[in-house]
Amino acid sequence: MEGIKNCLILMRSLYPSMHESEKKIADFILEHPEIVVNMTVAQISRKVGVADSSIVRFCQKLGFNGFTELKINIARNLVQPSELIFENINMDDDYATILSKVFASSIKALEDSLKMLEASEFSKAVELLLKARRIEFYGVGTSAPIAMDAYYRFMRIGLNAHVATDPHISRISANMLDEKCVAVGISHTGRTKDTVKAVEIAKSKGTSIIGITSFIDSPISKLADCKLITSTSEARFMKEAVSSRIAQIALLDSLYTCIAIKKYDTAVENIENMAEILDETRF
């Protein structure tokens, strides 16, 4: 957990892997962070209905020595009143309000993801991609367009990049990889069976795995040699992780930019050649 600066973001990322009592504590803190900073362990345990020791263990799970350290972190990361625009969309909101809230949610996802991402993991991902003989992107459902976009961008600068969004093709392509390849599994939940299975097969072949997900303890994170964790905050009506997709696209754009700079001469040459070809398709 080293490097995680905002415990509220971390709680959301770890939430699916928490036990029932841990989820009760997390729910209370996430709903009332401004109240929690002025409470004692005993007060929270009575309010939530768990033992004092459960609160202490919860703090330790997040990487803190105790409740005092957790409260200090919460206080540092409390949202200011002027920033309270990231609320859920309501049934009676007008179109302009919905527009504002959706954009605000996306901005928040980008800001939270930047806090969540480990610089060392990001650097490791860049190096893995630079050395890869072949790069395979995997994603299904709403992650499929992200995988397709990443493939297109990396391929444009001359990398041997490929994409598989069909479950059957994903398994076959993963089986053809080796230790000189890199597989990038993209899944908001990190629990998408088809993507996890493709990554499992690739890993069994010695392939390096980059996992892009919103949840630290998800199956895809556990398989990954390099974990790139983005924000998990979504409005109630955004069940398809709209904002998280934007954060993942920005993350992949960042990887693409780093690699393009490292391979500047060949990247520019490939982009210019591609531009000439694409010009023929436009009026």
> 145 and 218, same structural domain?
yes
Give the helix/strand (H/E) hosting 69: helix 67-76
> 131 and 215, same structural domain?
yes
pTM of the model: 0.81
Is residue 198 within 8 Å of residue 174, measured between CB atoms? yes
> Which of the residue ranges 49-63, 109-123, 257-271 would you say has the lowest mean pLDDT?
257-271
Is residue 92 assigned to a domain?
A: no
Give the helix/strand (H/E) hosting 3: none
Range of the domain at 120: 116-279
> 234 and 186, same structural domain?
yes
> 49 and 143, same structural domain?
no
Is residue 194 within 8 Å of residue 222, measured between CB atoms? no
Is residue 199 assigned to a domain?
A: yes
Strand partners, 138: 164, 185
> 41 and 150, same structural domain?
no
d(CA 35, CA 20): 22
Identify the residue with better confidence: 234 or 132.
132
Total Cβ atoms within 10 A of residue 215: 23
Q: How far is CA 280 from the centre of its chain?
A: 37
pLDDT value at residue 85: 44
d(CA 126, CA 118): 13
Domain count, the chain: 2
Q: What is the pLDDT of residues 4-14, one digit of tens each?
A: 578 988 898 89
Residue 161, amino acid: A
Is residue 107 assigned to a domain?
A: no
pLDDT value at residue 236: 44
The CATH number of residue 208's host domain is: 3.40.50.10490
d(CA 183, CA 192): 15
d(CA 136, CA 154): 11
Give the DSSP letter string of 210-233. EEEES-TTSHHHHH-SEEEE----
The CATH number of residue 49's host domain is: 1.10.10.10
Is residue 228 within 8 Å of residue 117, measured between CB atoms? yes
pLDDT value at residue 86: 45
d(CA 124, CA 145): 24
With 0-12 / 13-18 / 19 or more C-beta atoms within 10 angstroms meaning exposed / middle / buried, residue 14 is buried
Q: What percent of the chain has pLDDT over 90?
A: 65
d(CA 2, CA 135): 29
Mean pLDDT along residues 91-103: 88
pLDDT value at residue 230: 92
Query: Tokens 């190096």 identify what position?
Result: 127
Q: What is the pLDDT of residues 121-151, one digit of tens each?
A: 999 999 999 999 999 999 999 999 999 999 9
Mean pLDDT along residues 158-180: 97
pLDDT value at residue 237: 45
Is residue 62 assigned to a domain?
A: yes
Q: What is the pLDDT of residues 38-64, one digit of tens each?
A: 999 999 999 999 999 999 999 999 999
